[in-house]
Amino acid sequence: MFEDALEKVCQPVATANGLPNAFYTDPALFEREKELLFANTWACIGFAKDIPEKGDALPVDFVGRPVLAVRGADGTVKVFDNVCRHRGMILVDKPKRVGSTIRCPYHSWCYELDGKLRSTPHVGGAGVSSHECIKNQELGLMEIRSHVFMDMIFVNLSGDAPEFEAHVSKLTERWGEFVDRPLYHGGPESSFTLELETNWKLAVENYCESYHLPWVHPGLNSYSKIEDHYNIVETGHFSGQGTTVYNPQINGGKARFPNFYGLSDQWNEGAEYVALFPNVLLGVHRDHFFSILLKPISQSRTVEQVEIYYTSPDIQRENWSQSRNEAAAMWLEVFKEDIGVVEGMQRGRAAPTFDGGRFSPVLDEATHCFHQWAATKFKNATCGSKPHGLKK
C-alpha cells in the first residue's frame, strides 16, 4: 500500500500523485525522514556568518541531534557532536564566543577548537589532572563531516554520503557565475525568521513553482509574471523556477546594488530560485543572493531562517541601509504571503480522502521533482536503519 503510493509519486508528472498524507501528518514518518532525507545526504544546519571570529561557536539542535559548529584557530569551520566525552553533558547551550577552548560546564574538561581533548582537571583525583586510563588522544570531540558552500554550513550526519563537491556539482555547473564569489551579509535587517505551522516539505513544494504567483503574490506578479518564468528540474538534486524579468524597484529605482563581478548577460534581467534538497531554498540575482534554511521542528512545524547577501562590503555601510531595509522588506512580504498557503496545505492533509493530489504537467514539474526525490529515497531504503557514522 505504502509502496504503491510511492510508485504513484514516481510516475511521470502528468499522471503522478503527490506524496501521501502520512508524509505530512505521521510523527513516525517524520522520524524516518530524519534519517532518509536528512542524515544520509548533505543538509544545511546554519550559516558561517554567524560564527565570524575564531572561537565562535553555534549550537544547533538539528533533526533531533545536538551539533556544534565552531570557527577554528585556522579560520575554518568544523562541526562536532555538541556533547562532552566524559559524561555526555551538552557543551555549548547558546551561540557564543568560547575563545580558544570549548570548556564543558559540568566537570570542566576542555577541548581545543579542532576538537582535541586538552585537559581533564582532577580526573585522577583531587589535584591530579590525568589518569593512565583516560587517554586524551582517544577522547576528542566527535567530528561530523561538514562543508561551507555559499556561506551555508552543510553536514552529512551519516558520514557516508558522496563528497560534497559531487553533491552540488549540478548546481555549481548551473550557477558557476555565483558560487565562488564572495558574499557579504546585509546585517541584522537582512536576517529574519518565520515560524510556520506546516511540514517542511510544503515550504519546499511551494517555493519550487511559480504557478501560484498571480493569486498569492500580486505585487511580485506585477513586474515578474507567471509567463516570464521557466521550470528548473535537476532530478535527484534540486528544482525550482527562474524568471526572465528581474527588475525590482528598490529605493524607488534610484539606487541599484552593485552586481556580482563578471556576470554574463543572462543575469541582467534573469533570476533563479531553487530548492537544493533537502532543506535550503536559494535565490540568485545579479545583485544579491538569499538563502532560506528550513528547520523541521515536527511533522507540522517548521522554522524558516532567511539570510540576504550582497556583492560588496560597501553594501554593509550605513549609506546603504535604506536600500538594504527595502530589499529585506520586499522579500519578507513575499515570504509572508506564502504562509497562508503552506499552512493551508498542511491542514488539508488531514482529509483522509486526499490522495496526495495531482500536478499541473506544465507548471508543477519542479514540485513533482522534489516529491520524486523524497519518494525515491524511501523506495531505496533497505530494511532496518544504519547507525549514523562518524568521522572519527
Nearer to ligand FES, 107 or 358 (CB): 107
Nearer to ligand FES, 125 or 313 (CB): 125
Q: Cα dihedral angle (107, 109, 115, 118), rounded to 10 degrees?
A: 180
Nearer to ligand FES, 22 or 134 (CB): 134
Interaction pattern, residues 283-322, with Fe ion; x per rule: CB under 5 A: ----------------------------------------
Strand 96-97: give its sheet, edge to edge. Answer: 43-47, 152-156, 143-149, 77-81, 65-71, 56-62, 96-97
Q: Is 321 strand, coil or helix?
A: helix
Instruction: Report d(CA 343, CA 268) in Å as an integer.
Output: 35
Nearer to ligand FES, 89 or 148 (CB): 89
Please enumerate in sequence order all residues whose Cβ is within 8 A of that of 278, keeping only pairs 6 or more positions apart, or say none.
37, 38, 41, 43, 200, 204, 294
| Least distance CB 333 / Fe ion (angstroms) | 11
Instruction: Report d(CA 171, CA 370) in Å as an integer.
Output: 15
Q: Is 84 strand, coil or helix?
A: coil
Interaction partner, residue 89 (Fe ion, ligand FES, none; CB < 5-8 Å by kind)? ligand FES
- Residue in 307, 338, 364, 365 binding Fe ion, rule: CB under 5 A: 338
- Residue in 49, 86, 212, 225 binding ligand FES, rule: CB under 6 A: 86
Binding of ligand FES at residue 84 (CB under 6 A)?
A: yes
Interaction partner, residue 104 (ligand FES, Fe ion, none; CB < 5-8 Å by kind)? ligand FES
Contact indicator for 5, 356 with CB cutoff of 8 Å: yes
- Residue in 89, 179, 330, 332 binding ligand FES, rule: CB under 6 A: 89
| Least distance CB 104 / ligand FES (angstroms) | 3
93-152: which residues touch ligand FES (CB under 6 A)? Answer: 104, 106-109
In the 3-class helix/strand/coil scheme, how is 296-320 assigned residue by residue? EEECCEEEEEEEEEECCHHHHCHHH
Binding site for ligand FES (CB under 6 A): 84, 86-87, 89, 104, 106-109
Binding site for Fe ion (CB under 5 A): 338
